[in-house]
């Protein structure tokens, strides 16, 4: 975990600004020890809206995905961080992206019982799709694809299935009465 990742996770806004101001940190660097999360994933998950905003202002891409296909919107949805979701949506981040299991941020919010986030995300999904359609008609480029993740898509899928099968096997061997 880089110093920028740590500052974003801690919500240390001043330190994040300082690190980004030095132009020595990549706001899109993935932390391979933490499922390829970017500093924006950490800020989103922890509900640090101002930190998320400054990261995006310095080039953080809200479409980047973790090893399991989560965008920062998924991370915010899991933790019920409505203010971060509103920010991401206002900045035209993809709010309707499926993770490697086919779950959109709204489904993640639903799983974790964040009803206010679910309501917001259902509407945001529709607006996101409409924005993308209008942008395409006008020839405006929309940053909503993680090229690196797409290239690794098959490898990520295979790894997720393998992990799921291993967990299922461990669960069944531990929980089956003898």
pLDDT confidence of residue 172 = 36
> Is 166 part of any domain?
no
**Among 19, 41, 21, which residue's Cα sits nearest to residue 30?**
41
CATH of the domain at 79: 1.25.40.20
pLDDT confidence of residue 175 = 33
Residues of the chain with pLDDT under 70: 153-178
> Is 26 part of any domain?
yes
DSSP-derived letter for residue 31 is B
pLDDT confidence of residue 130 = 95
Structure tokens at 176: 């089956």
Q: Tell me the whole-structure pTM to 2 decimals.
A: 0.83
| Enclosing domain of residue 49 | 3-154
% helix, strand, coil for the chain, step of 5: 65, 0, 35
- The domain tally of the chain equals 1
pLDDT confidence of residue 178 = 31
> Is 106 part of any domain?
yes
> Is 111 part of any domain?
yes
> Is 139 part of any domain?
yes
The pair phi, psi for residue 31, each rounded to 5°, is -95, 105
């Amino acid at each position: 975990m880089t110093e920028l990742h740590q500052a974003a996770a801690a919500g240390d806004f001043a330190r994040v600004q300082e690190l980004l101001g030095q132009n020595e940190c990549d706001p899109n660097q993935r932390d391979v020890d933490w499922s390829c999360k970017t500093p924006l994933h950490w800020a989103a998950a922890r509900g640090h809206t101002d930190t998320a905003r400054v990261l995006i202002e310095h080039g953080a891409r809200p479409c980047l995905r973790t090893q399991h296909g989560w965008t920062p919107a998924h991370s915010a949805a899991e933790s019920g961080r409505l203010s971060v979701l509103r920010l991401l949506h206002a900045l035209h981040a993809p709010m309707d992206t499926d993770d490697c299991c086919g779950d959109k941020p709204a489904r993640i919010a639903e799983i974790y019982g964040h009803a206010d986030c679910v309501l917001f995300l259902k509407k945001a999904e529709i607006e996101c799709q409409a924005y993308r359609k209008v942008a395409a008609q006008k020839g405006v480029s929309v940053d909503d694809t993680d090229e690196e993740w797409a290239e690794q898509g098959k490898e990520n899928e295979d790894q997720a299935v393998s992990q799921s099968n291993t967990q299922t096997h461990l669960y069944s061997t531990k929980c089956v009465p003898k």
